[in-house]
Structure 1
Amino acid sequence: MNTKLRNGLAVAGIAVVGIVGIALPASANDEKPFTVAGFCGWDPGTDGGTYGHAYGHANVRSGPGAHCDRRGGAEPQDSLHYRCYAAAADGSTWTYVTDERTWLTGWIRDTYLSGGGSYTHC
């Protein structure tokens, strides 16, 4: 292979790697989890249509975050209708639920829910 052709291919390879290297961070940012600044009192109308239960007594809160007021609690024997989830500012995820026994609605942190809570974004 002649030297000019080999050098030309090497330069082209560097250019392609440089372009791909520049493009990758943009796509990596697209894959970051959806986050919302959890605000208290948010009652979304989304209905994910799945059910589960709490692993133990779980606080039901007025918004997706431990800083929100406690509305009540859910027990392991309660059937919970998982409506949707949101990610709080700290990265934790919370599911908006309706307790089928008490009809209480609110947010429970996903670590306390069977199946990891809802998989439908609010």
Structure 2
Amino acid sequence: MRTARRKIGIIGAIALAGGFMLSAGPASAEPAQPLSEPGWCGWHPGNDSHDPGRIEGDPTNIRSGQSTMCDVVGEARAGDGAWVRCRTVNGAGEAWYYLETNGRVGWVKGGLVSMWWTPMDC
């Protein structure tokens, strides 16, 4: 009850000070800002085993880090060739490959890449 009186008091004060002004604001042409990616996204390991591989998923997101929480920095298609630089396992136990394909360098989840050799660890 006390909260309701306080709200009515505030509304009354606003009404006395110049009336109500309800507005949804102007429509924005800019898209909503995405949540920022985790701080560990963006890691670029120095290892480069330069192993040939092939993208299996269609489409496959190339990411800034070894998680789906990291930003997408490019896209590849099934059958695209790739140079796999290294492999790591993230905190969730998922294998991720740091690779280059179609002029983009980034991370691709393990099940979306096939290789002829086992790349070095990152």
TM-score range, shorter chain: 0.5 to 0.7
Hey, which bits of structure 1, 4+ residues long, moved more than 6 A? none
Q: Give TM-score, length-normalised by structure 2.
A: 0.62
Q: Quote how far apart the aligned CAs of 1:67 are.
A: 0.7
1:32-43 map, 5 Å: 39-43=40-44
Distance in 1, Cα, partners of 2:69 & 2:116:
21
Identify the residue that residue 58 of structure 1 maps to in structure 2.
Answer: 60
Select the structure of larger CA radius of gyration. Answer: 2
Q: 2:99 aligns with which of 97, 100, 108?
A: 97
* Same amino acid, percent of matched pairs: 33
Q: How many residues align?
A: 83
The two structures have a TM-score, normalised by structure 1, of 0.62
- Which segments of 5 or more consecutive residues in structure 2 lack a partner in the other structure? 1-38
Structure 1: runs of 5 or more not aligned: 1-37
Contact map agreement 1:83 1:118 (CA 8 A) in 2 = no
Larger proportion of strand? 2
Q: 1:61 to 1:117 in 2, by over 3 A?
A: farther
The match for 1:73 is 75
Q: Does the Cα contact within 8 Å between 1:110 and 1:116 map onto a contact in 2?
A: no
- Between Structure 1 and Structure 2, the one with more helix by share is 1
Q: CA RMSD in A?
A: 2.0
Instruction: Provide the C-alpha distance between the structure 2 equivalents of 1:78 and 1:68, rounded to a whole number of angstroms.
Output: 22
